[in-house]
A and B are shown apart, each in its own frame.
Chain A
């Protein structure tokens, strides 16, 4: 326990600046999302379709999405450790590669928990203040964890790319190949029936139909979606741990 406290302390101290910056950005965004609602309520309460209450899911979604991106993104620690020489030094320190990888994961989970709580607090305060009760915590959680998973996936891929590359040129080459490969995969997905809607004309000048929006909302508010995203999240956590483990275990050439 004492070992993990030390390892996590080091990582939190090193990512502190980045964290504060992200926190400020998050709070500014939350404030920005709250402003229209406050202004409309104070100066001109509106009823019906034009009511700002209709915008609440969107605002909560944006805040949760941003929080998820911030929590899941690469914290730059690997690069910082390499440039400071700590990476090499860590080979002669008692913590094993597995212990270091677990501390990396725990640090990431700390951020995910923190921004998750912050996003939830925003959702709670926002909906409570507006007296809005059309969706619960599930909606926010799905968006938040979805964003975390998406960013973590990129982070894990990046970590594996970093491990495969022997030098900077190889890193560039692999990155370009991965980018082209990802584009190709999306293109292939687009060829499947039902996935390519490019040819479909927009109905009544609306980009996304109400039906699609409702379907999307139903998915986002579903507990099944939460379970699926949670399962993906757990898998990504395991993959992240494995990537970090491999990275700490890998010796210099």
Chain B
């Protein structure tokens, strides 16, 4: 087993499609961290995940997983990572126990007892075909498979999308347990920023194929704020402090990039803390500057 500091290292990755480019993106996920990967639909989250898993080839850049090159050391990496997609990629005709028979030959560290434990814990029916499972059950089954071979890196692409809050909460708790030994890391792309706010240590925000923000979640949330003021007051705010401005009938809400300095500069304005949802929303409209 090799030593590594970052579970994922993405440097200057570019992937070109007709009408969309993943443009020179870079970010790292330190070992033991949960990285939330957020962005609106079509922002490039799935393309980034597919690139790092070598499902698609990249045009430029370098990707390292667990300290290894994602193409050269592909075989070694695949034994040590687990992936959960938004849709169950297993055939409907199988039973849950069939999946254990399939995976036990593929993964050297497959743990049947752990798998059965998850199946029991998730209350997944063993006598029903996978095709008859509900969406929540399917996701739980995929997660059970992903967590049963002692993977060091778990990559999830919109895994909690479409699940009810109870199931999501249960799954998030399992991820927290999974990370407890400090040797494992998670990359989790999601629209549901509330989930990431609960569990993520770090956040990367992608929009139109570019990384807009990456870093520790608490720092990002702490730094940003929503300044509330009259529309006339907007002119007095430095352009470099503003991400974008949301106007309404009563005034304006300005996303500022440095809450602390803004609170000193604009003493007569109220500055509320921003949530990840707010940050995402204001950054998406950064080009328009003013929106409502």
Chain B 70-126 interface residues, beta-carbon cutoff 8 Å to A: 75, 78-79, 81, 83, 85, 87-94, 98, 101-108
Chain B residues closer than 8 Å to A93, beta-carbon distance: 78, 106
Interface residues of B (CB under 8 A from A): 17, 50, 53-57, 75, 78-79, 81, 83, 85, 87-94, 98, 101-108, 155
Of A80, A93, A251, most B-chain CB atoms within 10 Å: A93
CA distance A6 to B102 in the complex (A): 5
CA distance A85 to B91 in the complex (A): 8
Chain B residues closer than 8 Å to A252, beta-carbon distance: 50, 55-56
CB atoms of A92 and B105 under 8 A apart = no
Chain A residues closer than 8 Å to B88, beta-carbon distance: 85
CA distance A252 to B54 in the complex (A): 9
CB atoms of B56 and A251 under 8 A apart = yes
Chain A residues closer than 8 Å to B83, beta-carbon distance: 89, 92
CA distance A108 to B223 in the complex (A): 61
Binds B, one of A9-17, A189-197, A230-238: A9-17
- Using A94-B75, A251-B57, A252-B50 as known contacts, say yes or no to A86 and B89 having CB atoms under 8 A apart: yes
- Using A94-B79, A252-B50, A252-B56 as known contacts, say yes or no to A89 and B102 having CB atoms under 8 A apart: no
Prevailing SS type, chain A contact patch: helix
CB atoms of B90 and A6 under 8 A apart = no
| Interface check A5, CB cutoff 8 A | yes
CB atoms of A3 and B106 under 8 A apart = yes
Partner of B91, one of A5, A80, A251, A253: A80
Of B75, B92, B102, most A-chain CB atoms within 10 Å: B102
CB atoms of B78 and A13 under 8 A apart = no
Beyond A4-B105, A13-B94, A85-B89, 19 additional contacts (C-beta under 8 Å) are: A6-B103, A7-B105, A7-B106, A9-B102, A10-B102, A85-B87, A88-B55, A89-B85, A89-B90, A91-B53, A91-B54, A92-B53, A92-B78, A92-B83, A92-B155, A95-B106, A251-B55, A251-B57, A253-B56
Chain A 77-116 interface residues, beta-carbon cutoff 8 Å to B: 80, 84-86, 88-89, 91-96
> Can you name the residue of chain A whose Cβ is closest to the Cβ of B86?
A85
CB atoms of A6 and B101 under 8 A apart = yes
Interface size in chain A (residues, C-beta < 8 A): 26
CA distance A80 to B55 in the complex (A): 18
| Interface check A2, CB cutoff 8 A | yes
Chain B residues closer than 8 Å to A80, beta-carbon distance: 91
Chain A residues closer than 8 Å to B75, beta-carbon distance: 94, 96
CA distance A94 to B56 in the complex (A): 16
Question: Within the complex, what minimum Cβ distance (angstroms) separates B277 from chain A?
Answer: 29
Q: Can you offer 24 A-B residue contacts whose CB atoms are under 8 A?
A: A2-B105, A6-B101, A13-B94, A80-B91, A84-B89, A85-B85, A85-B87, A86-B89, A88-B55, A89-B83, A89-B85, A91-B53, A91-B54, A92-B78, A92-B83, A92-B155, A93-B78, A94-B75, A94-B78, A94-B79, A94-B106, A251-B57, A252-B56, A253-B17
CA distance A40 to B90 in the complex (A): 52
> Can you name the residue of chain B whose Cβ is closest to the Cβ of A5?
B105
Question: Within the complex, what minimum Cβ distance (angstroms) separates B129 from chain A?
Answer: 11
CA distance A252 to B57 in the complex (A): 8
Chain A 114-133 interface residues, beta-carbon cutoff 8 Å to B: none
Chain A 1-43 interface residues, beta-carbon cutoff 8 Å to B: 2-7, 9-10, 13-14, 17
CA distance A14 to B54 in the complex (A): 26
CA distance A2 to B88 in the complex (A): 24
> Can you name the residue of chain A whose Cβ is closest to the Cβ of B18?
A253
Question: Within the complex, what minimum Cβ distance (angstroms) separates B280 from chain A?
Answer: 27
CB atoms of A6 and B104 under 8 A apart = yes
CA distance A84 to B99 in the complex (A): 14
Question: Within the complex, what minimum Cβ distance (angstroms) separates B201 from chain A?
Answer: 23
Question: Within the complex, what minimum Cβ distance (angstroms) separates A75 from chain B?
Answer: 13
